[in-house]
Structure 1
Amino acid sequence: MIDSLCREMIDELPSFAPRVTEMIRTEMPRYAVVPEQEHIHDVTVQLHGLLGGLERGILPSADNLRASSRLGAARAAQGLPVETVLGAYHIGYRETWNVLMQGAVRRGQEAVAELAGQVTTFWTWIQELTNAVAVAYEAVLRAELSAREDRYRRLIEAMATADPGDETTVTLARSLGYDPVGAFQAFRGRSADLPNGSLERFRRHIATGPGVVVATMHGDALSVLSQGVPDEAVLRSLGRAVGQESAPAPPPLGVGLPRTGLSGAADSFQDADGALSLALRRDGGGTVRYSVAWLQSSLAEQSRRLSDVLGAGARTAHAHPHLAAAVIAYADHGFIPTAAARALNVHPNTVVYRLDRWTTLTGWDPRTRDGLMRSLLALDLYPAAHTP
């Protein structure tokens, strides 16, 4: 009795499958990305397999499972979320079961009892086919994620090791959504400062806004390249991703200048590298913008070579931090000893004495241009933890 009911439904698939497809597209609006006729065909194939199996009392064959696998892979490639794909299966099977039950009721109690006996077979079909869909979907997703990560890595590496303007790099940048002649801004941090899962959290959060942002970890570096996104938005998203509000100190991060074109992107990464080097030398880490500390950032990566030039100031600051504080206060308050004294809560004569003492110990008079420049560079490049 049930076999005849299934045969009737198979015969009615040309009208039933489009109705089911319409229900799916209504309840799952994301299916709009799938061409309607393609969708109707796929629903027809899946329901034909199910009804044929129920008619003969058999479980899904290898061909049925392969068809579901192909469908899962296709839906992944079309960008549908897996929960949407599985939800569509359940809508189709729900409607099929309802129509089968209505037909059984019309035939009488014996038909209803016989159909009820097929519940296990029916749900086994659902379980095995949706499992095949999910496995194939996940395989495609993993492959796409791997390919995307590879494109991210190759673009970032091209900024340092290849000609940023060559055709391969231009094509790669376009494939990631960038305008190769637009403005880019680079950010560099340390991968060790990112808790597990924070990179994906950052990507998900920043993707909700405008523009294009690529973020990847390679070796011990975190690299971010943005276009059309305010740097404050990037920094906020990074802060949320790493849980900065609960961290004892913000992680060190270098921010490059916005620069035009792919060669500009490469230069922005050099900016960010210098700014990161400076951030790593500062107590408490934090963000350093090349636009603000361009001189110190440019010299930070040369700090080992410059130690012979600036080491006297660094060692003096380490041994006599109150003298270094006087130099900084003097520079920050208009080169006026009385203003520096107010900031330090000391007598103006004390500031003058400390500046004189600094001059004696370092050979640099902070009241002259050369002496002040050397003093401030030494204090910026060689904080206490990095005294040469």
Structure 2
Amino acid sequence: MDQPGTPPAAPPRTPAVTGGALAALVHGLAGDTRLVDEVVAAARTQSPEAARLHRQESRHHVAALIKAGCRAFLRTGEPGDDDFTEAARFGAEGAALGVPVAALLSGAHAGRSRILEIAIGRGRELGLADDVLLQGLLRLDRYGNALARHVLEGHRAAERQLNIDRRAARIRLLRRLLLGEENDEDPARFGLSAVAHYHCVVSDAADPARVRELEQAFTRCGGVLAPVGGRLSGVTPRIPGFGEKPGSLVVTTPPVPLEKATEAHRLAQTALDAARAHGTTGVCGVVDLAGQTALAGQPLLAGFLRDGLLTALDPADDFHQDLAGTAIAYLDHGQRLDRTAESLHLHPNTVRYRLRRLRELTGFAETGAQLTVLETMRWWWALWAWHRPPA
């Protein structure tokens, strides 16, 4: 019985209600794509060196780390080493791409702080008691500390594997040749000549084992390969032969003198991003990617074309997606109905019907009327910008 003059005790919160609300909070964090963007932005702002990593790969890692952490939180007991596989991989890939471990940890701490801020706000919106919210945040914080430790361990293990001391000199040299930075690394130390011509190389490889394999392959050809600007890049007198596709994308330029390496490297990077958008893998030359590279350099114009020519199409309409995909295949196959139908495993009449419906909606060319090269490029570019999945 309450003593006179004292307020009545608050009814105890049942574990089921508390646990359900806390679980709802964690589930909401695990599936929130906006949270991923917030964390990536915080990490990249806090750590400019970590921001050298490609944004899409950083986003992939952050999403995986958040999901792994939420899964571990919802289970009973403390997380085990298996819960930190993605953290160790993140650290290893940072080392493979030349990002210092301090930069990775700085970004990780900034991301963790942002998650905690968001979790506090949402927990209060759900009506969680302060003591319950505090217990949950402390557990999330312990997970964050363990995550940072595994990032560190993954980075150190990859450094040992990659022979980081010799590699640091290669990075300095390539930053001088490809980014125009001022330093005293001598190209002759690595067998490069001022009068010779070299292919510029850029790859999207990030797995430490694959990075090491590519570095060694190009070294055997007399080349120098190392992470520059968040991408494996370099110069080489010749391209090594690969018995099979190297398991990643490798873009090369024709040979250029070293004083042209900065421009060639910039072009190779643009070509790499364009090829990735098309799902290309293996070894590709920028000459083979000329069309994709030129179009990738004008994203604003691509948006104007998409919005100007295809405004009648709804991205949420599956049939409209089929129409655009069929039209892209039609243009890719020389505006031939039979080849388009074969590539899509459709009857030619189905292809003809879809193209007719697209023409009714957008004014696309009449079936059988051959578009000129420039008209083909204009429609293909608009359709690709509309149809491709968002990054």
TM range (shorter): 0.3 to 0.5
- Which structure shows the higher helix fraction? 1
TM-score (norm 1): 0.47
Based on CA coordinates, which of the two structures has the bigger radius of gyration?
1
Given the two structures, how large is their TM-score scaled by the length of structure 2? 0.46
